[in-house]
Amino acid sequence: MKREIGFTAFLALVTLGFMSCQKDDLNNTGPSTLGVKIQAMNKSYSLPVEPAGIKSAAVNTASVTWDTVQLVVSKISFEAELKSLVNHHDSIEISYKWSGPRVINLLDDKLTLGNYTLQPGFYDEIELKVTGSKADANKKPVFFMYGQFTSSSNAKLPVALKVYEDVQFKTEKESVEVTEESIDMTSYIQLYLDQLMAGIEPSALDNATLTKGVIVISADSNREIYRAVMRNLVKDHHCLYEHKGEKKKKDKKHDD
């Protein structure tokens, strides 16, 4: 039996979902466990990329392919409010933390972080935060991507995105029920790489400044492109969700 709880992400271009699988022993009761997976999606795409929900009418052969996507994960914090069965008010606040730092390959869909315990009951709210701190990056990027840009004339250049700022993914979900059955839950944080470059024209990369032959996009290099990427990184989108036996579905994305 697979159930899933969808929720809204408060950091850009990130869709999230809870999926839970009942353990093989159907008579197993007690607390449930929660793990976290962080994944990069759509590593190859054409340019220009339109904002989510808008289809481009333009025909262009320019494209980007990312071979490396890394994030420094400093901390994962889990907080929950468990409703009292006696007076129906919030009576128990639960807090867990996983501490790094650890450099995560976001193209590895098998890596799970954290192992949080959820007691059976009704939760008024569940909140999950993933933090990447520049203090833990040792002067290296907190978020780093490396790949190849192919222009419409088929010229190929390496491209790198370097974010030295603190990065945080935050999720919240209200009214969550955990049954008496012991279940394994996984929260999937999915970063859509194509939407990072929504609205950026291929000509911007064609005319970008090169650093030792590489298009470096950072706060100090090709800053207009960098600002556009960072603006895309703070948009709010609904989550992707999946049920057993069905194809993946996606809520309509929106910008507030």
Tally of CA atoms within 13 A in the half-sphere of 21 that contains its CB: 9
Locate 253 and state its tokens: 């994305």
In-domain check, residue 129: yes
Closest of 114, 113, 116 to residue 95, by C-alpha: 116
Whether 245 shows a pLDDT value over 70: the answer reads: no
pTM (2 decimals)?
0.75
pLDDT in tens, 50-85: 765 455 445 557 999 999 999 999 998 888 888 776
Q: What pLDDT was estimated at residue 35?
A: 78
Whole-number Å distance between alpha carbons of 216 and 208: 8
Task: Establish if 154 belongs to a structural domain.
Answer: yes
pLDDT score recorded for residue 130: 86
Asked, for residue 184, whether it belongs to a domain, the answer is: yes
What is the model's pLDDT at position 116? Answer: 76
Structural domain count of the chain: 1
Q: What is the DSSP-derived secondary structure letter of residue 253?
A: P
CA distance 87 to 96: 25
The answer to whether position 158 is within a domain reads yes
pLDDT averaged over every residue in the chain: 77
H or E element at residue 53: none
> Which has the higher per-residue pLDDT, 124 or 149?
149
- Whether residue 221 lies inside any domain: the answer is yes
Residue at 116 is within a domain? yes
Q: Give the domain extent around 43.
A: 2-241
State the Cα–Cα distance between residues 30 and 46, nearest whole angstrom: 48
What is the full DSSP assignment across 162-199? EE-S-EEEEEEEEEEEE-SB-EEEEEEEEEETGGGGBT
Is residue 252, in this structure, part of any structural domain at all? no
Specify whether the CB–CB gap between 8 and 250 falls below 8 A: no
- Under the banding of pLDDT at 50, 70 and 90, the label for residue 29 is low
**The pair of three-digit structure tokens given for residue 41, joined into one six-digit string:** 């999606």
Asked whether residue 17 is domain-assigned, the answer is yes
